[in-house]
Structure 1
Amino acid sequence: MNEPTASVAPARKISLVWLLPILVLAIGGWVTVQYYLAQGPLVQISLSTAEGLEAGRTRVRALSVDIGVVEDIRLSDNLDGVMVTARLDPGTRHLLNQETKFWVVRPRITAERVSGLGTLLSGAYIELYPGKEGEPQRSFQGLDQEPDSLPGAAGLRVELYGESASSVTTGAPVLFRGLRVGRVESVGLSDDYRESRITVLIEEPYDKVITSNTRFWNASGINVSTSADGIEVNTQSLTALMSGGIAFSVPEEPGKGGMAEAGARFRLYQSQWAAEDAPYSVGVDYALLFNRSLRGLSEGAPVEYRGIRVGTVKEIMSVELAESDQANAVSVIIRVEPGRIGLPDVRSSVEEVRHRIDRIVSESGFSASLETGNVLTGELFVALDYRAAGDGGQVGRYRGYPTIPTVETGLVRLEEQLSTLLTKLNGLPMEAALDETRVALSSLRDTLDSVNALVSQEDTMQLPGALAETMAAVRETVENYGAGSETEQNVNRSLQQLNATLREVKSLTETIGDQPSALLFPPEWAPDPEPKVRH
């Protein structure tokens, strides 16, 4: 019986038919990869509204160049906005990172400019601002309009803090000497919510003028200020008047303040006057004691020397804190600032100012007073001057502050004089004087009654007629004896005869005095004249 045997044969080769689908799959995969690589990145942009946007038609642009198209628009999951999916062109992946910004370009009219008018015909589009640094990113929070500040913009960013940011909005201009040199990037509150915080960008090359002593103020609208200097009105450019803005200045004091660094903090003042009157870095504090009302004097009021500001009122002490040797005195703390009198605004100038004031107080009667700076508003300021030359005072101490002597001037001194006069009048025996006056008036009244009774009598009433007759007789007599009358001529002839008689009597008297015998014997006759013989 024959046993079965196995035969060994070589394995069958794969059929060439299978190569065709494999080749098709490889080509299809390669085409698919190339297709997606050629399409460019797909990004998702979150917006608050899809107004003006349309899938398949709305373009994505960068610097006015089309780089993509919106493929899909749908509502977000929480219904607080929309999610826009856009396909960008190849070669744009390097533009997408954490600093990349997207916003919708629509027609926009503001106080500063008009933009997006081209979209009136072409429709809204999405603008891309490429980021320069950061991790790659495909999902972005979009903006509904162009931002007023873009990341990486050249310039200096600083932060301003103030009590209020009224009328200051994002995008508002920053002005220096009337020129726009920057813009407001953001407006908000500080971390403790007690102050407003504003971030501004000072563009190149103007960022080189920002120093540590730069002063910023709110330049929005029209600023009206009433102070001891009067009523002042000031405004900046028309743009700042309409949309708000911030202005700044740099004190032109040599050696004061260094270049500001990015992120530096500055105080935002409410007006230009407040910024210019801001305290200097150093000053000398003095206490002034007044025995009068301080109504009209406020903190920040000027301290002047003959019309030139040399300091600032720092503090007005409350009544319950006033402690001095003078009865009912209220103290005012002032700061004399060396920087205002031509000295460097450094600590070494403090001792020099203190030494000068001590000397002129003791030698020249240097003192302080309250003066009216504005009659309409009643604002007061502190005036320093030489009040009593040669009659020096002394710098004292009050609550740790040196003191400057004070004097009263102007209306206050007049009030004191009137008060003294009234005090003296009050001290007079007015009641006794009034009693005597009443008695005198009563007596006068009785006299007037008697006169009235006398006048009312019939005989008295006839007096005017008799008086008229008497005056007529007197007038006639005067006319008879007046100049040129017959009586006057007779008197003149009599006087002439009397004068001739008196001259004869005088001659007789002289003759008897010389020759008493003339009454008995005739006087000697003078010899007869002898004729002269002619030779």
Structure 2
Amino acid sequence: MQDNPSTTPIVTKSKYISPVWFLPFIATLLALWILFQNITHKNMRVNIHFTNAGSIIVDKTKVRYKGVIVGTVKKIELDEVDGVNVIAEIESHATFLLRDKSKFWLVSPKASLTSITGLDTLFSGSYINLLPGEGEEATEFIATREQPITIPDKALLINLKSDNAASINIGTPIFFKKIQVGEIARVRLDKTGQFVNIQAFIESKYGHLVKQQSKFWNISGLNANISRTGIDLKLDSLTTLIAGGVTFSSPDSSPASLEKQQYQLYNDIDASEEGLSITLKLTNTNNLPERAGILFKGHGIGRIDTINYDSKSQLFIAKATINPAFSNLITESARFWIEKTSFSFSKIDNLSNLITGDYISFSHGDNYQKEQLRTEFVIKTEQSFLEDNSLSVELIADNANGLTDGAPISYKGLNIGKVNAITLTEDSKNIKATLSINEKFSYLVNKNSKFHLLSGINFKASLKGIEVDSKPLQNIIQGGIALYNESPITKKNVQTLYQSKRPFYLYASKEMAKLGKDAFAEPLNLKLLSKNLPSVSIGSPVYYHKLQVGEVSDLRLHNSSLMQTSININPKFKHLISKQTIFWNVSGFEIDAGLSGIKVNTESLLALATGGIALEFSPSATANITSEGQYRLFDSYQQATQPPKQITLIYDDASDLKVGNKAKLKGLEVGKVSQLTLNQNNKIMVTLDIAPEYFDKVAKKGSRFWVVRSEISLSGAKNLSTLISGVFINIQTGNGDKNIEFKGERNAPILAQHKTGLSIILAANNAGSTDTASPVYHRQIQIGEVTEKRLNDDASGVEIVINIYPEYTHLIRANSIFWPASGFNLDIGITGASLKSTSLTSLIKGGINMSTPDDEALQPQSQSFSTFKLKSEFDDDWLQWKLKIPKSN
């Protein structure tokens, strides 16, 4: 059979490579790539030397960099010399971190007073941390014991120099205005061994704060200073107490810091002499120590350096230094005040000041950032400025009775403010109280508002019954003021909101407030004016010779701030009223108690119960009508017919005196104290009401006024009657022209005018027991007294000045002899002991004896201020001299 050509296969050679051959080629490329990766990214083993391998576990403990695992511990071997060698395998992608100066350290849980670190290892286990360094590639490392300080990029490096390291360590923070801006990186002893070099860094964002004139000081730990003013503790913060700390100042005008500039590190801010110097002016420094602190919200920001008195301004000038971190707060609106101890029934504050002394508190204004700095302030004895956004209201009162600083202001029993300050008005005639009304209650105060006292308990008794008005306990203890509005006030109907600075008058009670001057009406008949409200009520009788001719119709406060009593006179007695009519108060009764007995004066039982007013026709009346045309209501008939005249005494301190103390002239009562006030110089002005018949004798230049009080001493007791009757003012009249203002004296003059005689000087080696007022004797009769003792011109001895009473001046002759009469002489012999003393007075007070020889002719009488030698010892013969010395010679 013949093959068919069409079915025979034809074989031909292909011109292309089969795709199958690409598979081996790709496999070869992959193998070469894997080989290259293994060669170029091979893990590297490193040897890290540790002192011990505590908490390091093979195949479990990791090596980390910035929290990323870059290796694992593969083996732990003992070192042939010391410690252990930890072999760790570092992954290939991190081998670039392995340089000569790279550092490894073990991170494990650690707690100390300064910090708590490594808490994450409680769950994950300890690990080795890596900090890359510079240098050639390395595989051998020595682990550090502590985590090295990492200096941030672009940080400012500074060098500090100190006498000692104190509490400064690596990692000690550096603060600026209480914000951490850097750390201590290195502490090394200087090569000379005399100083400590400290390297620190400031983070780049705070580097501009360090200037060439910046000063650094240590704020580490707790500094204590114990002195007579108390215990002075200085603690910057709890962190610096435990970990230490450094802070610095940064003068704005100083150029920027030089790179690696060296600064002195001072022990404290005082040593650095850094801070804002300010001047504080004070009226007094009672219980304020010289190194008193200045506190801001309880934190010390400064300290008083020195306190001096300026006699010109009569103020104490205190120089103080403010911590520079707070100097920007000392601006125009800054306020300083003294924090004092307050111990009362209403509050107890600052008891610790009794031991440590008072301190000064400080407060800045709200807009201090926009204000200019200020360096001089007048500080008050306490915080008296107003609260922010509060309404300031001023009250005028006749006196400060019932007023206290900090007392509450209430409206219908609700506290709406407080009393901020109590001072005298500019003319010193009245009391000015400054109130602070809470902002949300300010709408209650309007031009028709009235204020009255809330303190104490009001007790009223009459024929109609007894009325007792008791205030809350706080007002009884601390006092208080109430706001009274005749018509209810709400925020919606406010039309007359108080905006001006017109002061209000402070009334003694709500009843008086209701009768305030704005409610005065035209008099129905007569108005009587008096300083104080008489003890009368509406309906009280008006008498003429004990015949009722009218009654009291109204009680009000007059526009002059005097009390106004309106009366109605029965028409048939109108003829009794003329320009010579006088009115006086016959209400209640008067009691005058003393050693001589008790004197009670009262008009009648009805006048005692309801009060009353009497009138009389007096042709000699001159002061019965006021300058405003109203009649004057006198306190008594004697005051109405013989009104007292007044003189003024000026005292530095009148603590013993009070209104009502008597004034006496040679034991005769001639007046009494009617008023005690302060003048502009803070002197006490004592007003004496002198009976008219004695005024011309007393009101003369040269008159002297002194306080007589009880005195008890070894030499005797004086003026014991004043323990019951109270102190009084004694008067010694002068011979000059008329005068009504005198300087008061606290004690009696050393020499009364009638006892001033012959003054002579005794020269002695020392003053002995002789003192001022020691007696001078002749034959044991006191003839004079010592008025002064002093050193002589060259201080080689003393001079004792004595005054011989006028009636004995003739006894002192040119040859008279003087010797001490002080103490006693004890003579012990075979026959016994002899004790000699001139008198018990001389034994206690000391004294001087004198005599004149009788074996010489009578010498001339001594001249004033002649000098005699004071004998140190005396001869018994001197006591026997009997020279006759007649007064005519």
Output the TM-score relative to the length of structure 2: 0.29
| The structure with more strand, counted as a fraction of residues | 2
TM-score by length of 1: 0.46
Greater Rg over alpha carbons, structure: 1
Tell which has more relative contact order, 1 or 2 (C-alpha 8 A, sep 6+): 1
Higher normalized helix content (fraction of residues)? 1
